[in-house]
Chains A and B, each alone.
Chain A
Amino acid sequence: MSENTPLLPVHVISGFLGAGKTTLLKSVLASEAFGDSAVLINEFGDVGLDDRLIGDIAEDAVLLSSGCVCCTIRGELSEALRRLLTRRQDGDIPPFKRIILETTGLADPGPIASTITADPVLRHHLRPGTNLTLVDAVNAVDSRAAHPVWEAQVAVADKLVISKTDLVEHHALTQLESLLDALNPAAQRMGREALDQPSDSLFASGPHLQRFTPGQVKDWLGPWRNPVRHDPDHLGNIRSFRLGLEGDVDWTCLGIWLSMLLNRHGSDILRVKGVLHVHGDNRPVVLHGVQHTIHPPEHVETWPAHDRHSELIFITRDIDAERVTQSLTTFMERISDHPSPRIQHA
């Protein structure tokens, strides 16, 4: 694959046990919009049940068994992805345009991105795509209480879809929506139609935003403009906050600070994303990361010249906004050669 060939996205369908991941995957594969997709299924256990369920639609689906993709079989994931690329290159399978990975219900999807970007072969062919997380409206409260990975799955999501909404009362659904907004205010919420009739907008997101308009970028940043208040006591150890930066940002200093922060706290920085106006550049830079992995930042090509407001959004585990703000401010004031932007959190 040449340097100019676009990297193929690896989209992830995540969600706790019974949330409806395989049902969604079957709908996706039955849709014409996704006819050129390769599929990987991560099944925990000796018998790959999901593989049998999906097999009548996608005969070439690859099953990753005997462990969770987030920990024990990361090597197997790399090998499976390499095999797919080799078969594609050899013409054994059609030239797919995307890979869709369904994780186990017990997997933290965060490490998948680093598996791709850290692999010396894969990173030249693939890029992390959209993380789509399904949330089971019936069992969400119990699942969250019993399994911390539920929160991780919600926190890393680019898009959230609530399933089984017809099986719960209206007020319970409203409470769940409020909780999701509080846990991950940066995620785009998709309606039930995403499950029934998935369109190509299902995975249309992710870090490749060069051609996004300012409005689309702000949509991608999530519903921060109308934050939903939620009792902090109910959020457990998950924190989500936004830093606003007035004044241009020293990109070099920010890169040093963020790389240092991720080195020490990467597993607790569940998500970071934002739009930054950097010194010496009229185009803002879009930043997007999951845990230890930052996707290659990109410039947004069209942006109003008068808008130089930057913002960074964090979803963390037990790291609060004051500490992050203080740290970044100190770096900008004491390390950078440029004037520090005024940094406030909300």
Chain B
Amino acid sequence: MCGLCGAFGGESHWSTTIEDPEQAHFARRRARAYRVTLINRVLAPSRITIEDFQAASFVLANATGKRDIVQDLGGVWQQAEQMCGRQLDPLDADFLASLA
């Protein structure tokens, strides 16, 4: 738990449940860092970035400096849509074309 903000570590999102809880701390951090890298690639066309926060949550930021904290992957997309003011639809041809 983060002593400063009281946030508990670890995610409960389904996408993280196949990670071995016994695996080394650095391996979990590496998997989380890779997840952040990939989410940033998806959000880059919307000019939104995401950072890991204490391995417990994520911080989204847009180009105007607005920042929001979300707990897991499930919250990322809803919050990102609010920040950029439009739907982020992975079935939309224009959205797919915008991915680098």
Cβ of A252 under 8 Å from chain B: yes
* Residues of chain A lying within 8 A (CB to CB) of residue B17: 296-297
List A residues 257-309 near B (Cβ within 8 Å): 257-261, 263-265, 278, 281, 285, 294-299
- Which one of B14, B73, B89 lies within 8 Å of A256 (CB-CB)? B73
B42 touches A297 (CB 8 A): no
CB <8 Å contact, B99 and A335? yes
Q: Could you tell me the dominant secondary structure of chain B's interface residues?
A: helix
A298 contacts B88, C-beta separation under 8 Å? no
Contacting residue for B42 out of A258, A260, A294, CB 8 A:
A260
B30 to chain A, nearest CB (A): 11
Residue of B nearest to A261 (CB): B90
Give the A-B pair count, Cβ closer than 8 A: 82
Residue A142, interface by CB 8 Å: no
Instruction: Tell me whether chain A's interface is mostly helix, strand or loop, or mixed.
Output: helix
Interface string of B58-100 (1 = CB under 8 A from A): 0000000000000001101110000000011111000010011
B-side interface residues, number (CB < 8 Å): 28
Establish whether residues A330 and B96, one from each chain, have CB atoms under 8 Å apart when the complex forms. yes
- Say yes or no: is A34 at the interface (Cβ < 8 Å to chain B): no
Query: What B residues does A331 contact at CB under 8 A?
Result: 42, 90, 99
With CB as the reference atom, state the residue of chain B lying closest to A120. Answer: B12
Asked if B13 lies at the interface with its beta carbon under 8 angstroms from chain A, I say yes
Pair A319/B31 contact, Cβ less than 8 Å: no
Q: Within A215-262, which residues are at the interface with B (CB < 8 Å)?
A: 251-253, 255-261
Q: Count chain A residues whose beta carbon lies closer than 8 angstroms to a beta carbon of B.
A: 34
A327 contacts B99, CB within 8 Å? no
- Across the interface, do A335 and B91 meet the contact criterion of CB distance under 8 Å? no
Q: Is B29 an interface residue (CB 8 A)?
A: no
B99:A256 contact, CB within 8 angstroms: no
A329 to chain B, nearest CB (A): 9
Nearest CB in chain A: distance from B21 CB, A: 10
A281 to chain B, nearest CB (A): 8
Closest to A293 in B: B14
